[in-house]
Chain A
């Protein structure tokens, strides 16, 4: 299972990112848990300075922009792909 973190204090863009992520998980049929991270200290600990940020399994995959649903779904399926090849 993947852990997807949406980093952002709760501005409009953060909410759009969360919605897009939910649709993307559905679209890709991924097994994932979505966590919202609103604490500034925690957000900063990922090294990003522009919100919203998207973290999949501890890895920052996007920051300072709201990727489209298709883009997020592709990121997810790519990770599944790499894992399948490695395993």
Chain B
């Protein structure tokens, strides 16, 4: 009786899915002509004028970024629900250091991560016998090769840069994990962490989720995420639009020039406090790259924004000592700088 009453009437799931997909596709296809029509016909702006270009850019990018976030984050979150860390750690525990580190970096891409889960995640890995270097490879790759960054890079810059970013991120995670693994950092883990035992191996998990439930979860998560970051995204696109319309290309190209070695560390420094706002920064970065900021500097900026998280470092303090947090941060920062200098040197 109660079980029946709890089922609210819902439209058939397949129908909802088909409607949602076709709505998304239609919106994606009409976005560019619509933005063009709004800017130049309805508002009557001059094509090629500074203000006209800026407003057209804004009208095009806001719906575009919004659609990308809604569509692809939902899809990615759905896929990731099949790779919870509870399952992943079993795959990492029994491997050699090199294979384990590479696997951890790769799995970091598909595994959901939020900094409030960093501590249980860390304990869970240690407790399952995953080496610390492997655990750190995961901790570096999971937020850095993150879905919002990839989606926006792919949508706004194209697949080439998204894949370059992903490859560079994985490289930093693997090399960083290997280095930290060699340094016998166990000394700096809080002793109580090493003593946690999970129920003596008699855990009773009783969790089964249907495809429909996973998709609903993914949609709820995405809506919440978009609601949270949308204001930042809009501000980011507005700033991007202003730069696009008004800042001369020579200015940015000369500030960020490859010969200017200081530009890269400064850019990484600027990125550190921007942590929560990856989505807002990418539209600005899009414009900067278009205006001649070198690719290495651009990638390093993006990486530093998502991978160097002060809140996460503070939370990790519960399980590891400040020296190890410092070491972890130093490895990530140096890794990012090397990626930046390397790409600038190749001159892509």
| Contact indicator A50/B207 (Cβ below 8 Å) | no
Stretch at the interface among B19-27, B191-199, B286-294: B191-199
| Contact indicator B206/A61 (Cβ below 8 Å) | yes
Contact of A58 among B120, B121, B204 (CB under 8 A): B204
In chain B between 83 and 129, which residues have their CB closer than 8 angstroms to a CB of chain A?
84-86, 89, 112, 114, 116-117, 119-121, 123-125, 127
| Contact indicator B116/A9 (Cβ below 8 Å) | yes
Kindly state the interface size class of chain A when it binds its partner: 35 or more
| Contact indicator A64/B2 (Cβ below 8 Å) | no
Shortest beta-carbon distance from A37 to chain B in Å? 11
| Contact indicator B203/A47 (Cβ below 8 Å) | yes
| Contact indicator B120/A40 (Cβ below 8 Å) | yes
Tell me which residues across on chain B come within 8 A of A77, comparing CB atoms. Answer: 2-3, 6
- The count of residues in chain B whose C-beta lies closer than 8 Å to any C-beta of chain A is 36
Shortest beta-carbon distance from B37 to chain A in Å? 40
| Contact indicator B120/A45 (Cβ below 8 Å) | no
Q: How far is the CA of A51 from the CA of B120 in the complex (A)?
A: 8
Q: How far is the CA of A29 from the CA of B6 in the complex (A)?
A: 12
| Contact indicator B196/A49 (Cβ below 8 Å) | no
Known: A50-B85, A64-B84, A74-B6. A43 touches B120 (CB 8 A): yes
* B217 at the binding interface (Cβ < 8 Å): yes
Q: Is the interface of A mostly helix, strand, loop or mixed?
A: mixed
In chain A between 43 and 72, which residues have their CB closer than 8 angstroms to a CB of chain B?
43-51, 58-66, 70-71
* A34 at the binding interface (Cβ < 8 Å): no
Tell me which residues across on chain A come within 8 A of B197, comparing CB atoms. Answer: 45
* B13 at the binding interface (Cβ < 8 Å): no
| Contact indicator A65/B203 (Cβ below 8 Å) | no
Shortest beta-carbon distance from B316 to chain A in Å? 11
In chain B between 311 and 339, which residues have their CB closer than 8 angstroms to a CB of chain A?
318-319
Contact of A40 among B2, B84, B89, B119 (CB under 8 A): B119
Known: A45-B197, A50-B121, A60-B207. A70 touches B6 (CB 8 A): yes
* B8 at the binding interface (Cβ < 8 Å): yes
Q: How far is the CA of A49 from the CA of B114 in the complex (A)?
A: 11
Known: A41-B192, A64-B112. A48 touches B120 (CB 8 A): yes
* A19 at the binding interface (Cβ < 8 Å): no
Q: How far is the CA of A47 from the CA of B197 in the complex (A)?
A: 8
Contact of B198 among A14, A45, A74 (CB under 8 A): A45
Contact of B86 among A63, A74, A78, A81 (CB under 8 A): A63
Tell me which residues across on chain A come within 8 A of B204, comparing CB atoms. Answer: 58-60
Known: A64-B84, A77-B3. A44 touches B116 (CB 8 A): no
Tell me which residues across on chain B come within 8 A of A74, comparing CB atoms. Answer: 3, 6
Tell me which residues across on chain A come within 8 A of B220, comparing CB atoms. Answer: 66
| Contact indicator A49/B85 (Cβ below 8 Å) | yes
Known: A49-B120, A60-B205, A70-B8. A44 touches B86 (CB 8 A): no
| Known interface pairs A27-B6, A49-B85; 10 further A-B residue pairs with C-beta atoms within 8 A, sorted by A's residue number | A13-B114, A44-B196, A46-B203, A47-B198, A49-B124, A59-B204, A60-B205, A64-B117, A66-B220, A81-B3
User: 4 closest Cβ contacts across the A-B interface?
Assistant: A49-B124, A11-B116, A47-B203, A47-B198
Return 25 A-B CB contacts under 8 Å, by A number.
A11-B114, A27-B6, A28-B2, A29-B2, A40-B318, A41-B123, A44-B120, A44-B123, A44-B124, A44-B196, A44-B198, A47-B199, A47-B203, A48-B124, A49-B84, A49-B123, A50-B112, A51-B116, A51-B117, A63-B207, A64-B84, A64-B85, A70-B6, A70-B8, A73-B6
Partner-B contacts on A (CB < 8 A): 8-9, 11, 13-14, 27-29, 40-41, 43-51, 58-66, 70-71, 73-74, 77-78, 81
